[in-house]
Amino acid sequence: MAVSLSLAAMLVAVVSISIVQAAVKTLGKEWSVTARVVEGHGLATEGPYSSVRHPIYSGALGMLLATGLVISHLLGSDCSSRDLFIETVIRIRSEERLLGEVLGPEFESYARTAPALVPGLY
């Protein structure tokens, strides 16, 4: 069982890091730690952005899941996951307000077709 959890954690970690790296590469100069819009800002809809609107946050949640699998403290992982999910949803709403103001109908159309964080869930 421990070996299976370790292998699952490694797989989730590798996939999560790959998603984050692809998302940052897709954004290029538009990537930032803080929500902002640069001159000539375009809407990213390629790469991981074709599947979800916020793949960097999806990857972060995946890393938290991988950590929980390795540590095997389900209660702690559940609490951390819940807290990070709530914080992430707050940040997503803030960023999407900004994108909606700047990109208008283009962003609204994209938001209707791509889930925010996890396909099929949110």
Q: Which two tokens stand for residue 90?
A: 């707050």
pLDDT tens digit sequence for 72-81: 665 556 666 7
pLDDT tens digit sequence for 49-90: 999 999 999 999 899 888 888 876 655 566 667 788 899 999
Q: Whole-prediction pTM value?
A: 0.86
Gap between the Cα atoms of 83 and 100, Å rounded: 26
| Residue ranges per structural domain of the chain | 2-29+43-113
Question: Across the chain, which distance is largest between two alpha carbons, in Å?
Answer: 52
Look at residues 107, 102, 92 and name the one whose alpha carbon lies nearest to residue 37.
102
